[in-house]
Amino acid sequence: MNDTIALDGCSLTRAQLVTIARGAGVTLDATQLAVVARAADFFSEQVRKQEPIYGVTTGFGSNADRLLGAHRVRERGVGSDAEVGLLEELQRNLVVTHAVCVGEPLPCDVVRAMLAIRINTLMRGHSGIRVQTLQALAAMLNAGVVPVVPKLGSVGASGDLAPLSHLAIVLLGGGEAFYQGERLPGGEALERAGLERVRLSHKEGLALNNGTAQMLACGVLAVDRLERLLDTADLAAAMTIDAFAGRTGAFAEAVHALRPHPGQVQVAANLRRLLAGSTLADIPYHLVPRFAPWQPSSWSAPGQQLLRFDIQWNWVPLDQRHGREKFYTRFRPFRGGKKHQPQDSYSLRCVPQVHGAVRDAVAQAARVLDIELNAVTDNPLVFPDMVGARHVEEQVISAGHFHGMPLALAMSYVKAAIPVLASISERRLNKLVDPATNDGLPAFLIGNEDSTESGFMIVQYTAAAIVNDLASRAHPASVYSIPTSANAEDHVSMGANEARHVLDMCADLGKVLGLELFTAAQALDLRRDMIHAAQQLANEGDAARLARKIQAPAADDAEAKQIFLAEVEGLREELANSPAFAPGVAVAAAWRALRERIAFMARDRALDGDVATAVRLVDDDLLLDAVNAALGGA
């Protein structure tokens, strides 16, 4: 434990929970422990008075109408647990019979977060757990004993009963736990960590397994990841916009002040910051050549022999300019890679609206999670100091805080948003590789002069497959309740499934964004190199050299030929006098970080390693780190 977070039931933040999930320890606030002790003492007193209390002196769920007797109905034989009282047996049985999840274990960070959440809510002092039991739970977390909690088994009301029972059963010496890299029986893990087993008292089983800890843990870790993936998505969009030499007017502050959804405004500001300093964005249309296949006669200058492409423009003849004279006064009459239109396609122009809506969905989920982190979510709730209470029913109240619907619906919103973000990323990727839509770049971003190369063709297939898979998983679990406990629990949230799906989907969203960044870097290199090749021709000072890259008028039209050469000279001068074209400062920093690990693909090569590296760059936030460094930590 390098860090320690104090838990008091009232002030736990998402950032602190993530820190605990990654290995920080916890301490328990002494003032709140006194409140915890007061509630436990209250239950002891009510049991002494033989008051009927749900889950303490009655059965659970559909057995709530069955009062515990003073003696067993049937005596137990020698060697049995006859010495265990009925009240203790009730709590122990609740845990051991409810630990029935199946499937692969939840990741250790999720389980550590669950432990911290459960400790924090119990610190509020409305659950009846004893101080020593709560301290044992904290000691288990601090010692690095991580219960094995299979993924499947919670319906999200009454809370995450089955997963939380897998947490609690290890305290009793049962179940399984990970300790120092080994998967061990729970009792052995406790023993190796130097911890004692716990015997449960009044309501402690119910306090330990009744709550929303699994869905909340998954939700917090998912939102923590999504907040960085949202920044990565903005970065991927910015790199793609630079690769397209796109238009930035759609991101202007004044534009978004007219429709000020918070996420939309933030994304537009992010794009302006990421694209700041770009000389590719908003480049005049006529300066951008289009790709042409390399030929042996494409280049004559020694420095250009190694280029992987040829470049071309079309000249607009005089008879095609009627009614457009004003336009061709501002823009030279050459058509290259960029269409003469003032707006880009939706996947570029509408990034603030789409990315921003996803940000707003995540922000809404974060608001719900922040409330839940310091909420009491078990049942019944005890109010030992309630003023004016006349009988125990006014101090021990059965309510429904365990119901996970607030979290489930928030996660449903995010679950629907994730495929949206992945889908627009894949559309940008597809636009980059398709020669019909990539504004003059080569098909599949490869020269392919011998017709043997596929380039980035199948990268788009992979992105499309992931987007389809995400969309298939986006159906909200929260709309389909299946009653449990003999219809005592006749409406449940399925919030644990919802939050677990969202957490799993985050990893696949990161893969799509990694594929876009990988592809955009290739496109950015090609776009910049093609424009620089045109500038090199222009800097040679010979309009005739540049003219060979432009479709000329018919040879017998002397007047048109003269006008053509004069206009080519104008294009040459403008190219020669333009600065070197480069992406925005932040985009360039991300491009360099990517190129340090993945080389430009001049010819077809095995891409599996490159794709894995691109995904890892997103997972490890290395591109975001490079951007933040370039922007001074902004």
Catalytic residues: 54
d(C-alpha 552, C-alpha 296), whole Å: 21
DSSP-H helix ranges across 434-494: 457-472
Of the candidates 612, 468, 445, 613, the one whose C-alpha atom is nearest the C-alpha of residue 529 is 445
Residue 483 has a CB neighbour count (10 Å cut-off) of 12
d(CA 263, CA 581) in angstroms, rounded, equals 31
Q: What is the DSSP string of 60-98?
A: SGGGTT-B--SS-SS---TTSSTTS-HHHHHHHHHHHHH
Hey, what's the torsion of the CAs at 160, 163, 164, 168, to 10 degrees? 160
Reading phi first (left if > 0) and then psi (alpha if -120 to 50, else beta), residue 305 is in alpha
Do strands 396-397 and 381-382 pair parallel, antiparallel, or not at all (unpaired)?
Answer: antiparallel
Pairing of strands 150-152, 102-105: antiparallel
Number of Cβ within a 10 Å radius of residue 385: 12
Q: Quick count: other Cβ atoms within 10 Å of Cβ 82?
A: 12
First and final C-alpha spacing in the chain: 30
Structure-block tokens of residue 337? 């890679």
Residues 6+ apart with CB under 8 A from 293: 309, 310, 442, 447, 448, 449
CB-hemisphere CA count at 13 Å for 467? 21
Alpha-carbon distance of 253 to 266, in angstroms, equals: 10
The DSSP secondary-structure symbol of 291 reads E
Alpha helices (runs of H) in 210-350, residue ranges in sequence order = 213-243, 253-257, 262-274, 325-330, 346-349
